[in-house]
Amino acid sequence: MPSLAHEVEPLRKAEDALTTRRYADAEKILQPLVDGGNPRAAWLLGDLYMNGRGVPRSYNKARVLWEKAAAAGDPNGMCSLAYLLNNGFGCPTDPRRAMTLLEKAANMNCVEAQYSIGLEYMWGINTKQDYSRAFKYFRAAAKSDNGDAECLLSHLYEDGLAVSKNQQKADALIKSARVHSCEDGEYQIGRTYMQGLGTPKNYDKAYYWLAKGAADGSPHAMNQLGLMYGRGQGVKANEKKAVELFLRGVKNGCPFAKISLAECYRTGFGVHKDLKKAKALYEEAAKLGNKVASERLKLLTFH
């Protein structure tokens, strides 16, 4: 929805504050706009709560704000809300509603939604696997220079999924993806091979892509790569390396890395056993609405 004329200038100032990382200033500008019903302001403020920028991190508050944005027809709000619903952060999981929101946002030319729903179709999660639709949405996002979508398109061309194998196109897309930043795309390809999501498991390929994602700054890739070192999957088991990667993932904001590191402290894997540290990490993740952490915390308290 377009903003009213008198809201355009405050929104511009808020976005300028976000660009220059003056998050507290952005929050002060956005809150009155949210109270006045501006959907874009609700999406932007929700993002601050999601990432803990200028405000205490809270998945629950992010969800409330993104519900407002989505209800008012903001495609970014729909896409962000779908992420929470898919992962159960700050709310019960609802994959069916998440899929509906993503489809609607993608058809409104929301690039992030196009990329996200492409992943859903590629994996066959929450919907029937359909490489053709995955290709369609990745290609749409790639037209907006989305590096992650270009990365996944390269994967489809390289493995001949929905299109004829074409290594030349695959290489060209990866080259372009590097220019446009593709750390999440690298993580997603690694995860695909790691878990056998729509393709046979291949730990060597998983390691290759996750290592690239971790090197490019993906905290989720750091955590997943740490799990590979911890389990000796596709690489020689190395407890020290696993813990190092979990620590990097935690430092860079991956809630699942907190759970991985908590498990290390709970069991003494690669570190001195320390139930207090394990409990603290579980509590941090649980406060963000992570259901897995909440369940692990109950077990830890029980024992």
What is the per-residue pLDDT for 297? Answer: 80
Q: Find the mean pLDDT for residues 271-276.
A: 94
Q: Find the mean pLDDT for residues 189-197.
A: 90
**Model confidence at 5, in pLDDT bands (50, 70, 90)?**
low
d(CA 19, CA 26): 10
- Give per-residue pLDDT as tens, 113-122: 999 999 999 9
Q: Find the mean pLDDT for residues 229-251.
A: 96
Kindly report the number of other CB atoms within 10 A of residue 11's CB atom.
Answer: 18
Model-level pTM?
0.83
Q: Find the mean pLDDT for residues 30-52.
A: 95
Q: Find the mean pLDDT for residues 79-90.
A: 89
Q: What is the overall mean pLDDT for the chain?
A: 92
- 3-state SS of 47-68? HHHHHCCCCCCCHHHHHHHHHH
What is the per-residue pLDDT for 93? Answer: 86
- 3-state SS of 80-140? HHHHHHHHCCCCCCCHHHHHHHHHHHHCCCCHHHHHHHHHHHHHCCCCCCCHHHHHHHHHH
Q: Find the mean pLDDT for residues 227-252.
A: 96
| Amino acid at residue number 186 | E
Question: For residue 302, is pLDDT > 70?
Answer: no
Chain center to CA of 29 = 27
Domains and CATH numbers, the chain: 1-108 (1.25.40.10), 214-303 (1.25.40.10)
